[in-house]
A and B are shown apart, each in its own frame.
Chain A
Amino acid sequence: MISTELIQALLWGVANGCIYILLATGLNIIFGVMKLVNFAHGQLLMIGAYIAFTAATVLGLNAYLAILVAMGIVALIGVGVERFTFSRVLGTDKLNEIFVSLGLIYVFENAAVLLWGNTSQQIVSPLQGIQLSLGQIAIGYDRLLAVSIVIIILIALFLLLKKTKIGLAMRATSQKSGASMLMGINIERVYIFTFALGAALAGAAGALYGIIFPFNPTIGALPTIKAFAIIILGGLGSIPGAVIGGLLYGIAENTAVYFLGGIWQDAIAFALLIIVLVIKPTGIFGEKGE
């Protein structure tokens, strides 16, 4: 009896972990290429959820097609954010990036309140409430579909990074930005593309979040921290690490809720974060000191 509940918790953990993997991967790509940490990344997720919600309700799009709309628009927002804010403080005091992120958090959260109101919303999916049951274990089709979408996006991302010219430019920039500039890579353009890509991943994560959970304008902060915990588990700048870290994290969170109770769900992220950082400041799989 206990074991089926535990398996259930593990399954849900994997499904939740997938959303955070997308967010963490976006953060990781931006960090890897630009050496920039965007603390407002969770707010991009929140905006993505609202855009998908609007596309689904106002335009009547299928919830899963709305993911593409959310990705596109959040990527555009990302371009604006990079151009007008982060590109201006890049390379100055590291604290400035934190201050800019904080300003962005205020701007995004309150813009969302003004546009969409304070009430909780959820994207209506055609598969809502339908569950796949295997004996005593049940999992919603929405969660299963979310897992497969995340897998597809990650494969596409892998191909983009390994097989395309812009992917090559991104990898070169992440290793030595100065030398890449000398080799004729337009660093500015790589930065814009990278940030837009990271934002698009956050947008997709937001749309999936909105299908599975109810959301409001203030949900952004916790996913950011969870993404951070994942990055620290998986190592800064490593994408396979983010996948492993995301799965570990989702499972840890759901088993902790199972054993300790719901009140600990959010605290567990930080406890994990702090414990890992105390033991190994560069993350479990992280090798670079940067």
Chain B
Amino acid sequence: MNRTLVNSLGSIKREVVIFSRSQKFYLILAAMAIVMTLPLFLSNYVVSEVLTPMIIFAIYASSWNLLASSGQGSLGHAAFLGIGGFVSALIAIKLGIPPIIGLFLGSLLSAAIGFLIGLTCVRLKAWFLAMVTFGFSVIIVTIFSEFDDFTGAVMGFPTPPIVDRGLPFYYLSFAFAVISISIMYLVMKSKIGLAFKAIHQNELEAKMIGINTAKYRLIAFIISTFFAGLAGGLFAQSIRYIHVSVFAPYYSFLPLMMAVIGGLGTIEGPIIGSAIIVTIDSYLPRIDDALHGLMGSLFPAVSNVGPPLRMLGLGLFLLVVVIFAPRGVTPLIKKAYNYLRSSAKEETS
């Protein structure tokens, strides 16, 4: 264990040195500068209802993506989102400690429970694992509702604020996102990440070359659920309220959609996927009325055709991406960018 740690720390150091000299590094710096300054020119509503969720779900989708990079597709990540959200808020309220410490304790507890679920899951094949994680997210709803006296989950309760909503909270989540995603990036680039990839491609072969697959799969579980819990704590902060609906399958499937649509196994994929999905979720409801006017007469059974049509579209989008662009939309964006650059070069020369 110790030697793996030293080895991976060494490889991380090497990776950082190479990375800081690459072109990508400057691209990321520029992107970060834009993300930092952009909200200054936007309304408070857009910052707290669109940009902040985008950042929080980028952490959440990245945590899911890290787990999936080891071949483990969870269908119940909402359990950890919810545990992070509830525990961070409950600890802060019941013990009277600062909510920012509650945030860490919530993430730690989420990782601890992730460790226990991981123990069950590391021996399972992809589909059993998907079912067990999904099942866990349903059991946890029952548990939280059953012990409502303590959790207050059924009615929900307001969460104690760390900082004000709007710009301050935006920058706080941004700082958390930069730290969390950097850590996940380093893990995925290190020897641990290499082991994840080997396990994902062929578990038996990974075992044969001496990788302790159970150990690495468990590591993936712990790291992933820690950051899912952190995202949950931030999520509860961002809407200032926590309720048992956070465990809904919708929140389990969301990070999967984001990571797959953005590009599975890459670091930028979940971030781009989060930006796409949150934008769709925030802006498409505005065309619901128009949709209903256009299509309403076709489907007399529903009072508002907007939401089901959007969800249907999202499902089709996921199918199309998985079947026709299994590496997500990120390579397409890169291709378009390269094409534009090369055609711009041709024009100038």
- Are A85 and B138 in contact, CB atoms less than 8 angstroms apart? no
List of 10 A-B pairs having minimum Cβ-Cβ separation, nearest first: A106-B315, A270-B135, A117-B301, A103-B319, A103-B318, A110-B312, A37-B127, A107-B315, A110-B308, A94-B126
- Are B145 and A281 in contact, CB atoms less than 8 angstroms apart? no
**Interface set of A (CB-CB < 8 Å, partner B):** 37, 39, 85, 88-89, 92-100, 102-107, 109-111, 113-118, 221, 225, 228, 232, 263-264, 266-267, 269-271, 273-274, 277-278, 281, 290
Contacts of A225 in B (CB 8 A): 131, 134-135, 138
Contacts of B135 in A (CB 8 A): 225, 269-270, 273-274
Query: B73 in the interface, Cβ–Cβ < 8 Å?
Result: yes
Contacts of A263 in B (CB 8 A): 142, 145-146
Contacts of A93 in B (CB 8 A): 200, 326
With beta carbons under 8 angstroms apart, the residue of A109, A118, A228 that contacts B131 is A228
With beta carbons under 8 angstroms apart, the residue of A97, A102, A232 that contacts B128 is A232
Contacts of A269 in B (CB 8 A): 135
With beta carbons under 8 angstroms apart, the residue of A104, A221, A267 that contacts B319 is A104
Query: B120 in the interface, Cβ–Cβ < 8 Å?
Result: yes
User: In the complex the two chains form, what is the Cα distance from A115 to B123 in whole Å?
Assistant: 42
Contacts of B312 in A (CB 8 A): 106-107, 110-111, 114
- Are B139 and A114 in contact, CB atoms less than 8 angstroms apart? no
User: In the complex the two chains form, what is the Cα distance from A221 to B75 in whole Å?
Assistant: 12
In the complex, 22 of the A-B residue pairs with CB atoms within 8 angstroms, ordered by the A residue number, are: A85-B319, A94-B126, A97-B126, A98-B126, A99-B256, A99-B260, A100-B319, A105-B315, A107-B316, A114-B301, A114-B308, A116-B301, A117-B302, A225-B131, A228-B128, A267-B138, A270-B135, A270-B136, A273-B132, A274-B120, A277-B120, A281-B123
Taking the nearest CB of chain B, how far is it from the CB of A252, in angstroms?
15
Question: Which of chain B's residues has its CB closest to A112's CB?
Answer: B308
Contacts of A232 in B (CB 8 A): 128
Taking the nearest CB of chain A, how far is it from the CB of B251, in angstroms?
13
Contacts of A96 in B (CB 8 A): 322, 326
Contacts of A281 in B (CB 8 A): 123-124, 128
User: In the complex the two chains form, what is the Cα distance from A111 to B311 in whole Å?
Assistant: 9
Query: B253 in the interface, Cβ–Cβ < 8 Å?
Result: yes
What is the interface of chain B mostly: helix, strand, loop, or mixed? helix
Question: Which of chain B's residues has its CB closest to A221's CB?
Answer: B249
Interface string of B31-69 (1 = CB under 8 A from A): 000000000000000000000000000000000000010
Query: B314 in the interface, Cβ–Cβ < 8 Å?
Result: yes
- Are A104 and B120 in contact, CB atoms less than 8 angstroms apart? no
User: In the complex the two chains form, what is the Cα distance from A102 to B71 in whole Å?
Assistant: 17
Contacts of B163 in A (CB 8 A): none
- Are A98 and B314 in contact, CB atoms less than 8 angstroms apart? no
- Are B323 and A89 in contact, CB atoms less than 8 angstroms apart? yes
Contacts of B124 in A (CB 8 A): 277, 281
User: In the complex the two chains form, what is the Cα distance from A270 to B134 in whole Å?
Assistant: 9
Contacts of A102 in B (CB 8 A): 75, 253, 256-257, 315, 318
User: In the complex the two chains form, what is the Cα distance from A103 to B308 in whole Å?
Assistant: 14
- Are A95 and B132 in contact, CB atoms less than 8 angstroms apart? no
- Are B299 and A274 in contact, CB atoms less than 8 angstroms apart? no
- Are B132 and A277 in contact, CB atoms less than 8 angstroms apart? yes
Contacts of B340 in A (CB 8 A): none
- Are B309 and A110 in contact, CB atoms less than 8 angstroms apart? yes
Taking the nearest CB of chain A, how far is it from the CB of B279, in angstroms?
18
User: In the complex the two chains form, what is the Cα distance from A97 to B73 in whole Å?
Assistant: 11
Contacts of A99 in B (CB 8 A): 73, 256, 260, 318, 322
User: In the complex the two chains form, what is the Cα distance from A37 to B128 in whole Å?
Assistant: 10
Contacts of A277 in B (CB 8 A): 120, 124, 128, 132
User: In the complex the two chains form, what is the Cα distance from A93 to B302 in whole Å?
Assistant: 38
Query: B271 in the interface, Cβ–Cβ < 8 Å?
Result: no
User: In the complex the two chains form, what is the Cα distance from A94 to B128 in whole Å?
Assistant: 12
Question: Which of chain B's residues has its CB closest to A87's CB?
Answer: B323
Taking the nearest CB of chain B, how far is it from the CB of A271, in angstroms?
7
- Are B75 and A98 in contact, CB atoms less than 8 angstroms apart? yes
Interface string of B275-312 (1 = CB under 8 A from A): 00000000000000000000000010110010011011
Taking the nearest CB of chain B, how far is it from the CB of A251, in angstroms?
20
Taking the nearest CB of chain A, how far is it from the CB of B124, in angstroms?
6
With beta carbons under 8 angstroms apart, the residue of A85, A88, A110, A267 that contacts B311 is A110
Query: B264 in the interface, Cβ–Cβ < 8 Å?
Result: yes
- Are B309 and A278 in contact, CB atoms less than 8 angstroms apart? no
With beta carbons under 8 angstroms apart, the residue of B123, B126, B134 that contacts A95 is B126
Taking the nearest CB of chain A, how far is it from the CB of B214, in angstroms?
12
- Are A270 and B308 in contact, CB atoms less than 8 angstroms apart? no
Question: Which of chain A's residues has its CB closest to B142's CB?
Answer: A267
Taking the nearest CB of chain A, how far is it from the CB of B133, in angstroms?
10
Question: Which of chain B's residues has its CB closest to A264's CB?
Answer: B142
Known interface pairs A106-B314, A111-B312, A114-B305; A98-B130 also in contact (CB < 8 Å) = yes
Contacts of B311 in A (CB 8 A): 106, 109-110
Contacts of B319 in A (CB 8 A): 85, 100, 103-104, 107
* With A107-B312, A110-B311 already in contact, 10 other A-B pairs whose C-beta atoms are closer than 8 Å: A97-B126, A98-B126, A99-B318, A102-B257, A102-B318, A106-B314, A114-B299, A114-B305, A270-B139, A273-B132
